[in-house]
Amino acid sequence: MEASKEKIVLNVGGRRYETYSSTLKTFPGTKLCQLTEPQAQAVSDYDPNTNEFFFDRSAKLFGDVLNYYRTRHLHCPAGVCRALWEEELAFWGIPEAQLAPCCWVKLSHTEGLQEDLDLRGNKDDTNEDSLTLLGQGERRDYHWWARWQPKMWALFEKPYSSAGAMCLMVVSLLFNLGILILFFVEPTTYIEFDHYNTTRDYNIFHVALKPSLQKAISLLYVELFCILWFTFEFFMRLTFCPDKKKFLTNLLNVTDFLSLFPVYTELFLATHINEMLDILSWLGFFRVLYIVKLLKIFKLLETPLMLKVLPFTFRSILKEVFILMMIFTFEILFFGALCYHAELQEPETQFDGMISSFYWAAITLTTVGYGDIVVVSSFGKVIACCAAICGILTIIFPLPIFLIKFQGYYATAVMKEKMKSNKRNH
């Protein structure tokens, strides 16, 4: 029999495979190719009675490995995880890069989601566990910081760690509710009056009216009392935080810090703040952050799995969102400029400049359609229809990407929760 037609029998996981030696020589340097060498029977698990090589591996996965030698196209079986497939390929000496393009998505879809959840979702838990263990080890030290830092951090940050921490969180939420009520009541407590500014120019007196606002002083004191509590709470959490960088980059902590500015600014400019209407307006914007502080209530509740998955979904589609914003920007500039020039010769045009036309294009493309600015010419109406259709298509196409990503993350997260539950039960 010719050497190329010599048959080789492989017993993989109890299942017998029979193939030609020429087939195994398709990819030199691999484990199966080495079975065709003269010394293969001595270095491998060879049974001379049955004249077969035995490998204690998965028979299901090996079928696709052997087909790779026959067809030169590497495919992965359905329902196999990437780690297991990579381990199998490494055992047989086959590079993963040879995987057929049709199977890339099959492996990378769920595995990528799993890696993201492992790296991002478990990072916080891992860090917290490490810090807790570190704190427990340091408690053996008699230094006061090693003893009190984990306790104080848990007191201000982990409401379920003790009864005192729970009471402190409830008090903090009451202060948040109180200052939020003040925020909604304050606009009705401002007293508007005219300040007369009189100047003399020779024998002529000039009287100028300056509008001014004055807030009820009692409400300012109540707000100051709440802000003093928030200041104390913020700096206590910052002082005893085990990771200062992570604390200062947290969005809620940045919000807590910025919300301290309005009252302190009013106190610093107490003699002139009532005449600085622009500054009062900006301070009002900062006071809106009082509403964001209410998100702390989630510390008292178990965050739903859906809300845990959403941040990972948004991070995974940042590239698609950026491309979508670029497309929207182009469409706004294009349709805005086109419609502006189409309406330019109309005497009843509502476009008073390019900026208003860009605003109209943004409202039309997002299918909001306020109706405060409308086109009047026939050509402008055609452009408006095209803009609305393009806006709908631009919004619809990325939606399946978001849904697929979310479903994948959610399914992976549910599986991880089940695994954690099983570990706790056992």
Confidence of residue 139 (pLDDT cuts 50, 70, 90): very low
Report the topology of domain 3-99. Potassium Channel Kv1.1; Chain A (3.30.710)
Query: What average pLDDT does the chain have?
Result: 77
Confidence of residue 113 (pLDDT cuts 50, 70, 90): low
Tens digit of pLDDT for each residue in 354-404?
888 999 999 999 888 787 888 888 888 899 999 999 999 988 888 888 888
The pLDDT score that the predictor gives to residue 82 is 75
Whether the per-residue pLDDT at 266 is higher than 60: the answer is yes
User: At 282, is the secondary structure helix, strand, or coil?
Assistant: helix
* Assigned token pair, 230: 């928030």
Q: Rounded distance, CA 365 to CA 358, Å?
A: 10
Look up the CATH number of domain 318-397: 1.10.287.70
Closest CA to 209 of 192, 196, 198: 196
Closest CA to 307 of 413, 420, 169, 422: 413
**Helix ranges (DSSP H) in 293-367:** 305-316, 318-342, 354-365
292: CB partners within 8 A, 6+ apart: 252, 255, 259
Tens digit of pLDDT for each residue in 21-34?
889 888 888 888 88
Q: Rounded distance, CA 211 to CA 274, Å?
A: 9
Top pLDDT among 161 and 386 is at 386
52-55/46-47 β-pairing:
antiparallel
365: CB partners within 8 A, 6+ apart: 328, 331, 332, 335, 387, 388, 390, 391, 394
Top pLDDT among 118 and 244 is at 244
Q: Rounded distance, CA 397 to CA 406, Å?
A: 16
CA triple 74-77-79, angle to 5 deg: 145
Match 């204690």 to its residue by tokens. Answer: 56
Percentage of residues in the chain with pLDDT exceeding 90? 10
Listed by start position, the domains of the chain span 3-99, 157-301, 318-397
Q: Rounded distance, CA 250 to CA 309, Å?
A: 18
* Assigned token pair, 133: 């263990």
| Average pLDDT of the segment spanning 101-126 | 55
* Assigned token pair, 360: 């109209």
Tens digit of pLDDT for each residue in 86-102?
888 889 888 765 777 77
* Assigned token pair, 199: 């100047």
CB 94 within 8 A of CB 65: yes
Tens digit of pLDDT for each residue in 190-225?
544 444 454 544 455 444 444 444 555 677 778 888
132: CB partners within 8 A, 6+ apart: 150
Whether the per-residue pLDDT at 283 is higher than 80: the answer is no
CB 361 within 8 A of CB 336: yes
Whether the per-residue pLDDT at 68 is higher than 80: the answer is yes
Amino acid at the residue 124 = D
